[in-house]
Amino acid sequence: MSDSLNPNFYDQNAETSTLTNPTLVLNCGSSSIKYALISEDNSIRITGLAENLGLDTARIKHTTINGDKLEISIPGGRHKLALQKILELLEQYHFIAVGHRVVHGGREYSEAVRVDEHVLDEVKRLKILAPLHNPAHALGIEAVQAIYPEIPQVVVFDTAFHQTMPPVAFRYPIPKSLYEEYKIRRYGFHGTSHAYVSERASEITQTKGPHGWLTAHLGNGCSATAVYDGKSLDTSMGLTPLEGLMMGTRSGDVDPSLHMHLKRQLDMSLEDIDAMLNKESGLLGISGLSNDLRTVEEAANEGHQDAKLAIEMFCYRVGKYLASLSCALPELTGIVFTGGIGENSVTTRTRILEVMRHFGIKVDANKNAGLFGGSEGSFHAEDSHLELWVVPTDEECRIAQETREALSLT
Ligand code: ADP
Ligand 1 mean position to 382 CA, how many Å?
A: 29
CA of 45 from ligand 1 middle (Å) equals 22
149: in domain: yes
Please say whether the dihedral angle defined by the alpha carbons of residues 137, 141, 142 and 143, taken in this order, is positive or negative.
positive
Distance between CA atoms of 302 and 169, rounded to whole angstroms? 42
220 CB under 6 A from ligand 1?
yes
The verdict on 135 and 223 lying in the same domain is no
Residue 341 lies in a domain: yes
Q: Is residue 155 domain-shared with residue 273, that is, in the same domain?
A: no
Confirm whether pTM is higher than 0.85: yes
Q: What is the mean pLDDT of residues 35-50?
A: 93
**Structural domain that includes position 267:** 207-395
Q: What is the pLDDT of residue 7?
A: 34
Look up 158 and say whether it is catalytic: yes
Query: What percentage of the chain reaches a pLDDT higher than 90?
Result: 88
Q: Residue 301 belongs to a domain with what CATH number? A: 3.30.420.40
**What is the Å distance from ligand 1's center to 292 Cα?**
7
Which residues touch 279 (CB under 8 Å, ≥6 apart)?
249, 250
Q: Tell me which of 3, 11, 158, 306 is the catalytic residue.
A: 158
- Identify whether 403 is part of a domain: no
Nearest protein CA to atom 25 of ligand 1, as residue: 345
Distance CA 110, CA 117 (A): 18
404: left (phi over 0), alpha (psi -120 to 50) or beta: alpha
The reply to whether 13 falls in a domain is yes
Query: In the predicted model, what is the mean pLDDT of the chain?
Result: 93
Residue 193 located in a structural domain = no
Considering the domain architecture, whether residues 17 and 158 belong to the same structural domain is answered as yes
pLDDT per residue as tens digits for the range 373-402: 999 999 999 999 999 999 999 999 999 999
CA atoms of 90 and 400, how far apart (whole Å): 16
- Give the Cα separation of 126 and 104 in Å (integer): 7
Q: Are residues 226 and 133 in the same domain?
A: no
Instruction: Ligand 1, residue 221: give the atom nearest the CA.
Output: 2
19 and 149 co-located in one domain: yes
Considering its fold, how many domains does the chain have in total?
2
Residue 155 lies in a domain: yes
The larger pLDDT score, comparing residue 309 to residue 30, is at 309
Among protein residues, the one whose CA lies closest to atom 23 of ligand 1: 344
Residues 160 and 216 in one domain: no
pLDDT at 1 over 50: no
Residues 126 and 49 in one domain: yes
Domain assignment present for 410: no
Any idea which of 25-34, 358-367, 376-385 has the lowest mean pLDDT?
25-34
Contacts of residue 292, Cβ cutoff 8 Å, sequence gap at least 6: 248, 283
Which residues are paired to 232 by β-bridges? 227
pLDDT-based confidence at residue 132 (cuts at 50, 70, 90): confident
Give the separation between CA 346 and CA 178, rounded to whole angstroms. Answer: 43
Is there a single domain that holds both residue 13 and residue 145? yes
Contact status, residue 228 vs residue 199, Cβ threshold 8 Å: no
The pLDDT value recorded for residue 19 is: 84
